[in-house]
Amino acid sequence: MVKPLRVLMASWEEVAEPIFRAVIEEGGHQLTIMSPWRREVEFLEEAKTGQYDVILLTNLGLPLDCSLGLIAPLHQSCSAKVIVMSGAAHQEARERAIREGAVAFHQLPISGEQILEAVEAAARE
């Protein structure tokens, strides 16, 4: 049994958010969803509170550069593990995410089971 995790998710796509919320919360974890679009400082301040185990960056409704641009500041300012879930299939995005401090990069779409496994695996890193 995995201890309950606290997850902060970056998203600006209201259609997909209920899917992530259902999967993560039914897995016994807490999910907070915020949009960092034009509110990067607010998102980073929330992450810095130290109350999150995993930060899930998506480009759901966000430019990929917005999400990837948050990795290094998050890695430097909080202890939460950062994972990226993106529809961007190019290797360059994956390599940048890992280079900047993400523990994993997952290609969307993925199943609910894979989302939950990715969040739990990140927490164990």
Is 82 contained in some domain?
no
pLDDT score of 43: 94
Residue 87 belongs to some domain of the structure: no
> Mean pLDDT, the chain, as a whole number?
92
Kindly tell me if the per-residue pLDDT of 4 is higher than 80: yes
pLDDT in tens, 11-57: 888 888 899 999 999 999 999 999 888 889 999 999 999 999 999 99
Would you say residue 124 lies in a domain?
Answer: no
pLDDT at 47: 96
Phi, psi for 31 (deg, rounded to 5):
-125, 130
**Helix%, strand%, coil% for the chain, nearest 5:** 45, 20, 35
pTM: 0.92
Structural domain contains residue 62: no
What's the pLDDT at 1?
56
How many domains does the chain divide into? 1
> In terms of residue numbers, what domain contains 33?
1-38
pLDDT of residue 90: 82
Q: Does residue 109 lie within any of the structural domains?
A: no
In a domain, 10, yes or no: yes
Residue 26 lies in a domain: yes
pLDDT of residue 103: 97
Residue 7 lies in a domain: yes
